[in-house]
Amino acid sequence: MTITGIDPPAVEVSGLTRVFSGGRGKADHRALDAFDLTVTPGEVHGLLGPNGAGKTTLCKILSTVLLPTSGTARVLGLDVVADAKRVRPLLGIVFGGERGLYARMTAGQNLRFWAALYGLGRRAGRARAAELLDRVGLSARADNRVETFSRGMKQRLHLARGMIGDPRVLILDEPTVGMDPVSAHEFRELVEELRAEGRAVLLTTHDMAEAEALCDRVSFIDGGRLLRCEDPRVLGELLSRHERVRATGVPEALADRIAELRGVEAVRRTGPGAILVETDRDGAALPVLRMLVEAGTTDVSTAPPTLEEVYMHLIGDRGMAVRS
Ligand SMILES: Nc1ncnc2c1ncn2[C@@H]1O[C@H](COP(=O)(O)OP(=O)(O)OP(=O)(O)O)[C@@H](O)[C@H]1O
Ligand SMILES: [Mg+2]
């Protein structure tokens, strides 16, 4: 659909706000707060944020199942409130979990049922269901009831369901929850294909490695607000820059020496003799490890920072930036 000769964005959200009333005596809750987002056709856009950040609320508004309090949200130029009926066929929606699947029906029956809902005739519906089951690697289980499926298999079926209507825009809310690493890898390939076909994907996830691998851009959301919209490479840099080292059996004097090392941001005491070292410089974990090992510490491990920690650094970075 073109009005000015330029294709509209796949998703365009502007000043989107959703307030949930708190009920008797309780304060209202602002789940989304003047949120802005643009996803272009053929883009895989990641939405990252801690629990309660507002990700699912945004996905629900875009899916036309929840009304915004204020602001606008458009899908391929159509307003999700005023044009909800025209928006729905353009969308493929995948919310994880058990909802929306008929447990007593087989995978094939589920898909054929939805194909019928999308207006496909019997034969076309069969063909589409078979094609999609193949695409998500469930052909061999087509005739098994969904109640016998593992979580990851249900998640694959959700994906197939989301694609029934051949949508231009896919909204995937934590689509890889419950998938094993192999399935998650296959899922990534599937998303690559969807992108190559020119579809837009909005993907919420808690998995920073997944976001880094898959997304063209990543939006960070917290408290209903957009923190930053970034190139996913920034994630990789943050992950390595803020690596952490855990160790036990560390004497106090050694912990003090580690705190003096370059790039060590903090040494937290997490128990008697136990420390957690946070770094804020690429490669800073190495000298920490060396010092611990040389002192005879055997229980040492490294880990990437958590999403919450990455956020804190993002907010910190933003706080230092000069706004124009
Ligand atoms: N129907 C509702 N009524 C009241 N509050 C709600 C409702 N739905 C969501 N909220 C609140 O809105 C905020 C955002 O919730 P949302 O489900 O969008 O978070 P999320 O980013 O998807 O989190 P998660 O990572 O846990 O899935 C939360 O504080 C939540 O409690
Ligand atoms: Mg959610």
- Could you tell me the pTM of the whole model? 0.83
173: CA distance to ligand 2 center in Å? 7
- What does each C-alpha distance from 296 to 232, 249, 287, 291 come to in angstroms? 38, 9, 14, 9
- Find the residues whose C-beta lies inside 6 A of ligand 1: 20, 29, 31, 49, 51-57
User: How far apart (Å, rounded) are the C-alpha atoms in residues 40 and 9?
Assistant: 5
259: CA distance to ligand 2 center in Å? 37
Task: Count structural domains, the chain.
Answer: 2
Q: Is residue 57 part of a domain?
A: yes
Q: Is residue 6 part of a domain?
A: no
205: CA distance to ligand 2 center in Å? 9
Helix (H/G/I), strand (E/B), else coil: 284? coil
Indicate whether 252 and 108 sit together in one domain.
no
Q: Which of 230, 251, 266 is the last residue of a domain?
A: 230
Shortest-distance atom of ligand 1 to CA 221? 21
CA nearest ligand 1 atom 10, residue? 31
Q: Identify whether the C-beta of residue 172 lies closer than 8 Å to the C-beta of residue 204.
A: yes
Closest CA to 230 of 293, 318, 138, 108: 318
Q: CB neighbours of 25 closer than 8 A, spacing ≥ 6?
A: none
Indicate whether 221 and 113 sit together in one domain.
yes
Q: Is residue 197 part of a domain?
A: yes
Indicate whether 262 and 179 sit together in one domain.
no
Indicate whether 191 and 289 sit together in one domain.
no
Q: Is residue 311 part of a domain?
A: no
- Over the stretch 263-303, which tens digit does the pLDDT of each residue have? 999 999 999 999 999 998 888 999 999 999 999 999 999 98
- What does each C-alpha distance from 33 to 18, 19, 58, 243 come to in angstroms? 7, 8, 11, 31
- What does each C-alpha distance from 146 to 16, 149, 151, 174, 302 come to in angstroms? 37, 5, 10, 20, 40
Q: Give yes or no for residue 217 having a pLDDT over 60.
A: yes
- Over the stretch 97-117, which tens digit does the pLDDT of each residue have? 667 789 999 999 999 999 998
Indicate whether 223 and 253 sit together in one domain.
no
52: CA distance to ligand 2 center in Å? 7
Shortest-distance atom of ligand 1 to CA 53? 21
- Over the stretch 33-76, which tens digit does the pLDDT of each residue have? 999 999 999 999 999 988 889 999 999 999 999 999 999 999 99
Q: Tell me what pLDDT residue 98 has.
A: 65
Q: Which domain holds residue 68?
A: 11-230
- Across 235-245, average pLDDT: 84
- Over the stretch 152-206, which tens digit does the pLDDT of each residue have? 888 889 989 999 999 999 999 988 877 777 788 888 888 998 999 999 999 998 8
> Which residue out of 17, 26, 29, 206 has the highest number of ligand 1 atoms within 8 Å of its CB and is therefore the one to mutate?
29
Q: Is residue 28 part of a domain?
A: yes
